[in-house]
A and B are shown apart, each in its own frame.
Chain A
Amino acid sequence: MKKSRIVAVLLCLCLLASQALGEGFGGLTMWGEDVTDLAITVTSVDRTRSLNGAEAPAQSVYVIVNAHIQNMGTVTCQLKESVRATLTWQGQYVYEATVEYRREQVEMLVETEGVFTFCLPEIAAMAPEAELALSFDVDGTPQDKPFTFSAAAVPGVVRPAFEYSGRHTDGLDIALDAPQFADEYNGERDDAYRWLVIPVRLINWGKAPVTLAEEQLKVTLTYLGRYGIAGSLALEAETLDPLHTASGVAVFKTPMVVATAEEDQLGMLVSVREQQWQPEFSLTAVPAPVTALMPVPDPEGLTGVKGILNRTGYVLNGKTYTVYQYTKARDVAAFVADYTALATANGYRVSDVKISELPALSLVRSDGLTALVFYDYSGAMLLMVEDGLDKAVLTLEQKEEMSVAADPVTEGEALPEVRQMLSLKVGDIFTFGHYEQDNDLFQSDEPVDWLVLEVDEENHKALLISRYGLDAKLYNATETNVTWETCTLRSWLNREFLNEAFSAEEQQAILTTAVDNSNSQG
């Protein structure tokens, strides 16, 4: 590869020389040995359930990688023959791309675009980026470094709750959910028994489909570490493709002595073929986090403007939504940031998405229900709430109160944000407040960078100066004899600038300082 780069540099020099000599590009040649060198640059990565109107196979998501390709070598390259793209999850599961190029072949120094489309199971496609590696090889030579990427979440797709690192087998694996006892099951009732019903989920960690009946999958409720009660498994599928999941239920007809046993007398044993393990088992269902099933935050809490019902029964990607319309926020970026914070605090996984080219926030609750916020929808804002979800007005202040209540701060102690500030050292750059700096008045204000000049750890103080000049104002609006005490610059700083650059919370973190206003100070 090093050689290729050197050649590329020479080529550039050559190109300059050729241009200087007035020769045409069509006649561009290179001397020396033939070298293949394609520079592939990923420009974007998207994930989607449907592609060109076609839905992805069950439990699968398309990962679409757009790349810029430039032939830095000395020979014409047939892209379909030369380039191979793979997406690898967990270093184990390798997926090949189907590829479309704008040009089938690229000559020396010619560039084109390629679209690499991978079809991955949901668990891989929606995995954290660090678990995925995108790599290209050209004529069998891998690129130096696998490319890791980030991509938006896919609305409506909830990643199966399995962790590769926590798997029990390299084939079929099973997870147990919250168990429940029933006095009757399928019309059967017996005073000597209760039925323990446990929802189960299965995943095939293998690389080939499995037929469940052949996996000798057994779940056994153990009692006193001595007895085993075989569970009856009813599953929704007969076969499972690699990394695909299925759900079902395990039912144990438990004698009363077992059903009324102390929890520490019970356990669970799972076996698949020769492998056997004891998953964590608790009769007491783990209480869901308080925020797990909270309602969708109503934008009204942030904008102060009530929404109106736009329509009900709106179907998008197979989900049915109720649509509410709001006035667009004045400061869209601030709204998005605050709303994201609110929704996250309510237990939603929030991500930026684009739907029909419109930017939106996707909110996915832990139970899979979703909401979408089109914060810039033709001058308005839309909130789409999937049926089954509620929305509730919750202001940012309430969210702050919730977080303070959850992490109480003793009186006199600095708030968490301030503590973070005081951990800085002299010379650090600290971002604090927002102010218009790029002259693009149609976009939101930019964060203000501050240079730390002095830190007084004992008194929890820091002296800052803005890294960049933020504005230009006269010392005083009129040419009179005036001191700092009454000058208009001071007035502007303490009013307009303070209120524009800092939120109410941020203003509380700014200390009041005694100033010498004597004439000697100017």
Chain B
Amino acid sequence: MKKTWIVWLLAALLAYGACACAEGGQVTLLPDQEAAGVFECTLGDMTLSAERNGMTKDQHKWLYLDMSLMNWTVEDKPLAQTVSAVLTWQGNYKFQAEIVCDRTVIQPLVSATGKLVFELPDIVCQADEETLTLTLTADGQQTVAPFRCPADEGGQIVASGFTYAARHGDAGDVLPLKAVLLENYEGETDEAYRWIEVSFNVFNWSEKAYAPTDIKMVLTYLNRYGFEGTVTYDFETLAPLTCGSGRALYRVPLAVVNGQTGSLGLKIGAGEQTWDEAITLTEDEGV
């Protein structure tokens, strides 16, 4: 049986050779023409979505940009090497688009449609044109333009309160939220002491995942005394430009909590950066 198939294959090849005189389909520039057109990439509508293919990702959205392609050149254009798009936020953070298209190669005179897909942190989705630019490269031709994401289509963007301009360092950043005075802590009472629980947010300004092992938070009194606390986080690592939360628990003498308003503060250290934050105690409202 195998031999039979081989013979048939040879016969088919011979038959083709007998009648085919020229290879076809190739697009060329006519002899009297000096230059072909260019590869065109045109962007259309865009949408922002909290999910992609049914999946969601915390503090991220997906930006979809419709894209039309037309290859007026006379060469095949592999899409991956021909089209690229980058969103740049604050001049530092770059987000490369994934290109979604039915064709991996755009042949001469062929048009195609597809999408540019960006996975963006919420903080970037909220950015304005002054801080966000889109760089589109099509067959070597680069276009840079200010950019703003459209309104969110479902999914709530977390308002973390961090701003790039007021950041503390280029890695972990801390923003105290509330300091609560507790009479006891987990059943422990001492009439000479009180407990202060400080809740805070952590933000990762770096471009890689961040584990907040270098964050130090010291409760200060009269800017003279300092108290080490127990710090816990509700996350293990933070993705770039995303926000997490934590709590710091301080056991402080009664005199500290009875002190004058403004006598309490936090000295925060993250990496090589150190700064002070004022706190105001609030009474425990109970559960």
Contacts and interface: CB of A to CB of B under 8 A. Distances in A.
A4 interface: no
A227 B27 CA distance: 7
A227 B109 contact: yes
A233 interface: yes
Interface stretch (A45-53, A245-253, A329-337): A245-253
Nearest to B28: A228
Contacts of B70: 257
A225 interface: yes
Contacts of B110: 192-193, 255-257
A196 to B, nearest CB: 10
Contacts of A231: 22, 24
B67 to A, nearest CB: 15
Contacts of A256: 110-111
Interface stretch (A119-127, A216-224, A397-405): A216-224
- Which of A232, A233, A248, A255 has the largest count of B CB atoms less than 10 A from its CB? A255
A226 B36 contact: yes
A470 B107 CA distance: 83
Interface in A232-290: 232-236, 238, 248, 250-253, 255-258, 269
Contact of B33 (A226, A250, A252): A226
B109 A223 contact: yes
A218 B28 CA distance: 13
A455 interface: no
B198 to A, nearest CB: 61
Contacts of A250: 24
A47 B20 CA distance: 35
A230 B28 contact: yes
B74 to A, nearest CB: 7
Contacts of A258: 109
Contacts of B7: none
A253 B23 CA distance: 11
B20 A232 contact: yes
A235 B21 contact: yes
Nearest to B20: A234
A190 to B, nearest CB: 9
A255 B107 contact: yes
Contact of A232 (B23, B107, B109, B111): B23
A226 B30 contact: yes
B145 interface: no
A269 B30 contact: yes
Contacts of A233: 20-22, 24
A230 B109 contact: no
A218 B109 contact: no
A418 interface: no
B108 interface: yes
Interface in B10-54: 18-30, 33, 36-37
Given A192-B112, A225-B30, A232 B19 contact: no
Interface in B88-123: 102-103, 107-112
Contacts of B25: 229-230, 232, 252-253
Contacts of A212: 21
Contacts of A257: 70, 109-111
Nearest to B19: A234
A222 B27 CA distance: 9
Given A227-B109, A255-B109, A257-B70, A217 B21 contact: yes
Interface in A427-441: none
Given A192-B111, A232-B25, A227 B30 contact: yes
Contacts, number: 87
Residue among A191, A226, A232, A250 with max Cβ neighbours from chain B (10 Å): A226
A406 interface: no
Contacts of A218: 22
Contacts of B74: 227
A223 B108 CA distance: 12
B287 to A, nearest CB: 62
Most buried by A among B27, B110, B112: B27
Most buried by B among A225, A227, A256: A227
B26 to A, nearest CB: 4
Interface in B74-88: 74
A79 B167 CA distance: 117
A225 to B, nearest CB: 7
B150 to A, nearest CB: 29
- B24, B33, B102, B108, most chain A CB atoms within 10 A: B24
Contact of A238 (B18, B24, B27, B29): B18
Contacts of A191: 102
A232 B16 CA distance: 12
Nearest to A193: B110
A356 B25 CA distance: 53
A51 to B, nearest CB: 31
A193 B30 CA distance: 20
A201 to B, nearest CB: 14
Contacts of A477: none
A233 B24 CA distance: 7
A213 B29 contact: no
A232 B27 contact: no
A31 to B, nearest CB: 69
Nearest to A234: B19
Nearest to A253: B25
A390 B19 CA distance: 35
B30 A222 contact: yes
Contacts of A228: 27-30
Contacts of A193: 110
A480 B95 CA distance: 128
17 contacts: A192-B110, A217-B21, A217-B22, A226-B37, A227-B30, A227-B108, A228-B28, A229-B25, A229-B26, A230-B26, A233-B20, A238-B19, A252-B25, A253-B25, A255-B108, A255-B109, A257-B70
Given A226-B36, A229-B26, 19 more contacts: A192-B112, A193-B110, A226-B30, A229-B25, A229-B27, A230-B24, A230-B26, A231-B24, A232-B20, A232-B25, A234-B20, A235-B21, A251-B24, A255-B27, A256-B110, A256-B111, A257-B70, A257-B109, A257-B110
